[in-house]
Amino acid sequence: MQRRNFMQQSLLTGATLLTGASLKANDKTINEFRLNDDKPFNLLYGIHDGMFKELAGNDFLDQLKFAYDNGFRAMEDNGMMQRDKSMQEKIGNQLAKLGMSMGVFVIDAGDNWKTSFTTGKQEFTDRYMVACREAVEVAKRCHAKWVTVVPGYFERKIPIGIQTANVIDMLRRCAEIMEPAGLVMVIESLSDNPDLFLRYSDQGYMICKAVNSPSCKMLFDMYHMQRNEGDIIEHIDWSWDQIGYFQIGDNPRRKQPTTGEMNYKNIFKHLYNKGYKGILGMEHGTENPGKGGELELIKDYRWSDDFLKT
């Protein structure tokens, strides 16, 4: 709490100093406003659209430049498939220009929360194969390597073993499309409601092992896993060879590191020491609103990423 109070007081002072300056991304002042100049973080934290809209403006391309100037080297965009083709290409070009990496986007087959792999029904299979082929084309435009897959809901009239087999079969069919394109599906265990089929890391691990494809790995969202099973570091170690991607969010409230119960400094250090070179998607909100809240988010990441001294 003492660190949080100190941070808040410092940020209020900083925000006051900025009130008279224009903070639009095309103004010179934006490049003067850096917390630790452009020194890259030790890990690839991936921002979302809107995360720096108060400081950099509503244009996502400007937000990417601002993020780069403050040390971030990756982004992700769950809704990339809903963007028009020209914007997908612009984002890809901006990432290439800045030397930033593109993280996940979600394969959208309509209503992902209802479309269920567990039923084995042909209508779901056909719909998802179309979405997979579309995702391959989207990935080419924005330079993506990973795509998020959500298997959907339980089918409670079918035994759990049959449902699991149906999910494995569906993912194998998806992998046939993904492998030639060099894409990796990352299947996500979620905590949003009890109707979701995929909820635990050991469950995801078993499914990835059974699919047995380099294009099918786990998305280990640490916010969801803290809620569902806890013991984050040990579960990461158990699942390590099947994890393809991480996402971040403190618990409760799903905000940035330091705002909840999770010791992200230790978690980040553990991943760094294990040699993780991939992206950690910042799939969370900002604890406080406005410019001060966005500044606080950057400071919280700087503090959490400063693990080499500990």
**Over the stretch 120-140, which tens digit does the pLDDT of each residue have?**
999 999 999 999 999 999 999
* pLDDT tens figures, 289-308: 999 999 999 999 999 999 99
Q: Is residue 107 part of a domain?
A: yes
> Is 84 among the domain residues?
yes
- Looking only at the bridges linking them, the beta strands covering 101-102 and 74-75 are parallel
**Assigned domain for 198 exists:** yes
pLDDT of residue 130: 96
Backbone phi, then psi, for 79, in 5-degree steps?
A: -95, 20
Is residue 242 domain-resident? yes
- Structurally, how many domains does the chain consist of? 1
Phi, psi of 248 (to 5 degrees): -115, 145
The enclosing domain of 275 has a CATH number of 3.20.20.150
pTM of the model: 0.88
pLDDT at position 37 is 57
DSSP bridge pairs for 47: 75
310 lies in some domain: no
The pLDDT of 59-74, averaged and rounded, is 98
pLDDT at residue 270 greater than cutoff 90: yes
Q: How many beta carbons lie within 10 A of that of residue 160, not counting itself?
A: 12
pLDDT score of 223 more than 50: yes
pLDDT value at 3 more than 50: no
With 70 as the cut, is the pLDDT of residue 253 above it? yes
Better-predicted residue by pLDDT, 207 or 3: 207
Burial 263-283 (b: 16+ CB within 10 A, else e): bbbebbbbbeeeebebbbbbb
Q: Is residue 225 assigned to a domain?
A: yes
- Expressed as residue numbers, the domain containing 23 is 2-305
Any alpha helices (H) in the chain, and if so which ranges? Answer: 2-18, 29-32, 53-56, 60-69, 85-98, 122-142, 160-181, 201-211, 222-228, 232-239, 264-273, 290-305
List, for residues 34-60, the tens digit of each pLDDT value: 454 579 999 999 999 999 999 999 999
pLDDT, position 142: 98
Residue 172 lies in a domain: yes
pLDDT bracket for residue 230 (50, 70, 90): very high
Question: In this structure, are strands 105-106 and 184-188 parallel, antiparallel, or unpaired?
Answer: unpaired
pLDDT at 209 exceeding the cut of 50: yes
Residue 28 is predicted with a pLDDT of 33
Place 114 in a pLDDT band, splitting at 50, 70 and 90: confident
For residue 190, the Cα-to-chain-centroid distance in whole angstroms is 13
